[in-house]
A and B are shown apart, each in its own frame.
Chain A
Amino acid sequence: MSFDGALVAFGIVAAVAIVASLGVVLARSVVSAAVSLVISLMAVAGVYVLLLADFLALVQVLIYGGAVTILLLFALMLSRTGRDSGLTTRHRPIATVAGLATAIFLGWAIVATNWFALPYAQLQRVELPIIGTALFSTWALPFEVVSLVLLVALIGAAVIARTGDAP
């Protein structure tokens, strides 16, 4: 078997993503959980690059790694109660069983699938103008709906979080 650089890189990035995600759900302090989330998101952005989706990797780094993480850190800082003890519920065994069951079920579905029957295409980089054209022609209506969702969420968050009595 020949040396496959992309596969090795994928293995490394996937391992980082899995370990960092475990850090998100197992960390004993809220700040290390948030930092683990950043590492996990960046590792997934690396997977996007390996799948030749450069634009999506850029979006992931800018929106997830930048904006979303900052918002989450703000939420963590502003909602501190002073004591970090007890970050997990007493339902932890149930959660473990549910997580493992999901992993086993999805893993079984992956193993049971005949992947060679699928119509494979060669991985190829999609140029940015093509994505832009698709977004504003085929996907124009969903795109506008997403814009509206963002606007409504923005106004809603501002109204909910502002000081003083709600109207």
Chain B
Amino acid sequence: MIPLEAVAGLSAVLFAIGLYGVLARRNAVLILLAVEVMLNAVALNFLGFGAFRGDLTGQVVAIFVICVAAAEVGLALGILLRLHRNRQTVDIDRLDELKW
């Protein structure tokens, strides 16, 4: 039997890897990829705790997480395309007009 600690540990490791990716990448699309890794870790955690408590809530919340992630990716794609058309770059180090 898989221990719940192992599921929580896997989720924690994936979340930390995703966080590193969000902070370290400079291509906006790659940041989005890392955000997907983090969201996936969260959904895995929800499912793990729900499954080991015999509770359906974890599974339902995980489905919601996946749906919201899909919406987020669609919207982000639109914004990135607009950004690329206006600025010819998605490099966040060069999009610094809001910095003083």
Q: Measuring CB to CB, which residues of chain A are less than 8 angstroms from any residue of chain B? A: 4, 6-7, 10, 14, 17-18, 21-22, 24-25, 30, 33-34, 37, 40-41, 44, 47-48, 50-53, 55-56, 59-60, 63-64, 67-68, 71-72, 74-76, 78-79, 81, 86-92, 94-96, 98-100, 102-103, 106-107, 110, 113, 115, 118-124, 126, 130-131, 134-135, 139, 142, 146, 149-150, 152-154, 156-161
Interface residues in B26-57 by Cβ distance below 8 A to A read: 26-30, 32-34, 36-37, 40, 44, 47-48, 51-56
Given A78-B84, A106-B15, A156-B75, A89 contacting B24 (CB threshold 8 A): yes
Contact with A120, one of B28, B52, B88 (Cβ below 8 angstroms): B52
Q: Measuring CB to CB, which residues of chain B are less than 8 angstroms from any residue of chain A? A: 1-10, 12-21, 23-30, 32-34, 36-37, 40, 44, 47-48, 51-56, 59-60, 62-64, 66-84, 88-93
Chain B residue at minimum C-beta to C-beta distance from A103: B16
Contact with A18, one of B10, B27, B63 (Cβ below 8 angstroms): B10
Shortest A143–chain B CB gap in Å is: 8
Chain A residue at minimum C-beta to C-beta distance from B72: A153
A149 touches B74 (CB 8 A): no
Given A106-B16, A156-B75, A134 contacting B24 (CB threshold 8 A): no
Q: Which residues of B contact A122 (CB under 8 A)?
A: 54
Chain B residue at minimum C-beta to C-beta distance from A150: B71
Most buried by B among A68, A88, A100, A131: A68
B88 touches A75 (CB 8 A): no
Sorted nearest first, the 10 A-B pairs with minimum C-beta distance are A121-B54, A99-B20, A25-B21, A95-B23, A157-B78, A106-B12, A103-B16, A153-B71, A95-B24, A161-B78
Q: Which residues of B contact A159 (CB under 8 A)?
A: 78
Given A25-B37, A79-B29, A98-B19, A107 contacting B67 (CB threshold 8 A): no
Shortest B41–chain A CB gap in Å is: 8
Report the separation of the CA atoms of residues A150 and B67 in the bound assembly, to the nearest whole angstrom: 7
A115 touches B44 (CB 8 A): no
B24 touches A48 (CB 8 A): no
List 13 A–B pairs whose Cβ atoms lie within 8 Å, in order of A's numbering.
Answer: A18-B13, A24-B34, A25-B25, A37-B36, A48-B47, A51-B51, A64-B66, A72-B29, A72-B32, A91-B23, A146-B68, A157-B75, A161-B78
Report the separation of the CA atoms of residues A110 and B5 in the bound assembly, to the nearest whole angstrom: 7
A156 touches B16 (CB 8 A): no
Q: Which residues of B contact A96 (CB under 8 A)?
A: 20, 24
B75 touches A110 (CB 8 A): no
